[in-house]
Copies of this chain bind each other. A is one copy, B any other.
Amino acid sequence: MRLFFKLLQIAVITVPLLAMRADKPLRVVFFGDSITQAGVSPTGYITKVGEMLKSKGQESQYELIGAGIGGNKVYDLYLRLEDDVLAKKPDVVFIYVGINDVWHKASSGTGTDPDKYVKFYEALIKKLKAQNIRVIVCTPTVIGERNDNSNQQDGDLNQYSKLIREIATRNNLQLLDLRKHFQDYLASNNPENKEKGILTTDRVHLTEAGNQFLAEKMLEALVQK
Contacts and interface: CB of A to CB of B under 8 A. Distances in A.
A148 B154 contact: no
A69 to B, nearest CB: 12
A79 B158 CA distance: 26
A158 B162 contact: no
Interface stretch (A1-9, A58-66, A112-120, A209-217): A112-120
Interface in A150-167: 150-159, 162
Interface in A68-121: 75-76, 78-79, 104-113, 116, 119-120
Contacts of A78: 75, 78-79
A152 B111 CA distance: 13
A149 interface: yes
Contacts of A79: 75, 78, 119-120, 123
Interface of A is mostly: helix
A150 B123 contact: no
A152 B116 CA distance: 16
A79 B106 CA distance: 25
A84 to B, nearest CB: 14
Contact of A149 (B106, B107, B116, B155): B155
A13 to B, nearest CB: 36
Nearest to A159: B150
Nearest to A158: B150
A107 B110 contact: no
Contacts of A105: 106, 108-110
A175 to B, nearest CB: 17
A108 to B, nearest CB: 7
9 contacts: A76-B116, A78-B79, A79-B120, A105-B106, A105-B108, A109-B110, A110-B110, A149-B158, A150-B162
Interchain residue pairs A-B with the least CB separation, the first 5: A154-B155, A105-B109, A150-B158, A150-B159, A149-B149
